[in-house]
Chains A and B, each alone.
Chain A
Amino acid sequence: MTENYLYFAEGGGANATTEAGCFACSKLTGISPIIKTTTGIYFEGTTNAQDAGELVTLTHSSNISGEGRSSGHQVRDIANAVATACNATPKGQFITIADMDQEVGTARFHPLMPGLDHLEVSPGNMGTNIADIVTGVAITLDS
């Protein structure tokens, strides 16, 4: 059965170990905050049977208390983006969640990742990018 796969890249060129990862949505085991400025996305281990899980850590801004926020911590919005991507149809998609190898701009992130719509900014600032929210990706195998 085809399914959706999520892609993450740290920004180092995706040409060395852990610089990028692509994980099946069926292997997603959960998402949780790690500290105020990081959120962990967990997957079943991919390097061996019954090995430790894989962890993708997204670095982002701290709590933002803007009107209409669904969450103080970014975890709820990140979780919503990842789950929506996993349930996107038709199945069988390759979906970029966060690719820091891409130039600054929306190509770096899934459209639902926390972004400017959650910031209280003046219209003149709307030209900036959602990298203001998520600023880093780190992949840890056998976390």
Chain B
Amino acid sequence: MTENYLYFAESAVETGGASSPEAMLIPASSYLGCDPESTTITNFKFKALDGTATIETVALTHTASKNKDVIKAFVNIVNSNFINANGVTIVADSEVIGTKKFAEYHSAFNGLVTGCAIA
């Protein structure tokens, strides 16, 4: 069975480690749950990269009051409904490098997601 690996990145990817990564690949099986933080931010929580008791939180910024739509799309992604052959799913990659690289968000979000932060 193909393992579904999810990729997230902030606008600047330089540092982090396991405690506060600015980007991460994480198995979909590490997903724990989600929590709306505001009308424009929904937090998605995962087991820690390094196996500690802490968690990784991915905050997706989205169109106002579209929390449920974003959550529904995310669950579809987690359930491998869009999985690629190599199992890598770019969920939200906000990294921008001048004119060389632009932000990339999964099509399942239908344009609702506009930002990604990891804590």
Contact = CB atoms under 8 A, between A and B. Distances in A.
Secondary structure class of chain A's binding surface, majority of residues: mixed
B36 interface: no
Contacts of B52: 52-53
Given A30-B24, A87-B86, A79 B14 contact: no
Secondary structure class of chain B's binding surface, majority of residues: loop
Contact of A30 (B3, B27, B101): B27
A29 B50 contact: yes
Interface stretch (B15-23, B60-68, B109-117): B15-23
Interface string B59-91: 000000000000000000000000001111000
A35 B72 CA distance: 34
Interface of B: 2-3, 5, 7, 9, 13-18, 21-27, 30, 47-52, 56, 85-88, 93, 95, 97-98, 100-101
Query: What are the 8 tightest A-B residue pairs by CB atom distance, in nearest-first order?
Result: A32-B21, A79-B25, A53-B51, A30-B49, A84-B86, A73-B13, A87-B87, A31-B25
Interface of A: 25, 28-36, 40, 42, 44-45, 52-53, 55, 63, 65-67, 69-73, 75-76, 79-80, 82-84, 86-87, 143
